[in-house]
């Protein structure tokens, strides 16, 4: 096993460049926005294969690596980058994942990663992690994302809606995404039913790998919009798939459908408010 590199901070008078490897376009935009607030340059690629190709072609000062992606996942991509002779063989790599138990963190380290960030990633967690490897430029404006919470992203919340979403997370990401939020929220509301249908198909096919992948995708995307109830149930289905079984998943899927319907109703109201305001 190749030991995990322990690189020193790199800046060298230039603006650091970060490679963001993320198959979820919403999370990719959030990470990019946060990095821009920090005064950093970044490039986003959607999967592990593109990450390895890009890492072979140009040098980066830090790589943010999603773990679960179609095709080549983050673990395999990291091993490929570490074992190659390209310019990023020693570049610090941070895992970005919805899983953060000790086994997952240990697996990331064994693959050659230097740290672990749990989704959804907020500005403080990302800034703290990045500062461990890079000297941030003096133009760092990360705090502005937090300062706008409750201002640009403040919405009236009906009493019946209070417990449906994590409104703090929703407002924080709304402040980051700004005018992009209505489109991205609409995309989520269109995609989630298809993911639920796909999960149902995976159970019918008794395909735990398919269950794991689709449940993970629903889990991570739901967190961006504060839909923690949906995300928690999707995480339970993901865990079943990861363990190699679909047994017992049907009951959880029934709960997930109910939770999503409640969440969908609240987010649809917010989408109307956002569109009317914009």
Mean pLDDT by 10 residues, the chain (278 residues): 50 81 90 92 96 96 93 94 94 89 84 91 90 80 46 47 83 88 94 96 96 92 92 94 94 97 94 87
Quick one: angle between helices 25-37 and 123-131, nearest 10?
Answer: 60
The pLDDT value given to residue 155: 47
Quick one: pLDDT at residue 118? 87
What pLDDT sits at residue 81? 97
For residue 167, what are its two tokens? 């409104």
What confidence score (pLDDT) does residue 148 get? Answer: 41
Nearest to 121 by CA among 52, 188, 185, 67: 67
Q: What is the DSSP string of 1-43?
A: -PPPP-PPP--TTS--EEEEE-S-HHHHHHHHHHHHHTT-EEE
CATH tag for 159-277 (out of 1.20.120.160, 3.40.50.620, 3.30.565.10, 3.30.1360.170): 1.20.120.160
Output the pLDDT for position 41. Answer: 95
pTM of the model: 0.81
Domain ranges in the chain are 17-145, 159-277
Structure tokens at 278: 């914009």
The tokens 């919405």 sit on which residue? Answer: 155
What is the model's pLDDT at position 43?
Answer: 97
State residue 156's pLDDT score.
47
Confirm if 103 and 136 have CB atoms less than 8 A apart.
no
What's the confidence (pLDDT) of residue 96? 93
CATH topology of domain 17-145: Rossmann fold (3.40.50)
pLDDT at residue 78 in the model: 97
């Amino acid at each position: 096993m190749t030991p995990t590199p322990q690189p020193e901070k790199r800046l060298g008078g230039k603006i650091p460049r970060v490679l963001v490897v993320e198959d979820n376009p919403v999370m990719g935009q959030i990470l990019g926005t946060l990095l821009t607030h920090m005064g950093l340059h970044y490039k986003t690629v959607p999967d592990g294969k593109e990450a390895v190709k890009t890492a072979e072609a140009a040098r980066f000062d830090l790589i943010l690596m999603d773990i679960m992606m179609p095709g080549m996942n983050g673990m395999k991509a990291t091993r490929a980058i570490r074992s190659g002779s390209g310019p990023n063989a020693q570049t610090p790599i941070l895992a970005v994942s919805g899983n953060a138990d000790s086994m997952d963190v240990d697996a990331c380290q064994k693959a050659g990663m230097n740290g672990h960030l749990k989704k959804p990633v907020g500005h403080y967690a990302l800034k703290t992690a990045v500062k461990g490897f890079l000297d941030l430029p003096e133009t760092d404006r990360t705090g502005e994302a937090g300062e706008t919470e409750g201002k640009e992203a403040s919405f009236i919340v009906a009493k019946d809606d209070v417990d449906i979403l994590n409104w703090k997370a929703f407002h924080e990401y709304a402040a980051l995404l700004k005018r992009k939020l209505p489109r991205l929220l609409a995309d989520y509301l269109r995609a989630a039913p298809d993911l639920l249908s796909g999960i149902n198909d995976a159970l019918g096919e008794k395909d735990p790998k398919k269950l794991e992948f689709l449940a993970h995708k629903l889990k991570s995307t739901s967190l961006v919009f504060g839909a923690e109830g949906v995300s928690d149930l999707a995480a339970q289905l993901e865990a079943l798939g990861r363990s190699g079984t679909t047994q017992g998943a049907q009951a959880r899927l029934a709960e997930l459908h109910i939770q999503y319907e409640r969440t969908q109703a609240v987010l649809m109201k917010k989408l109307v408010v956002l569109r009317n305001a914009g």
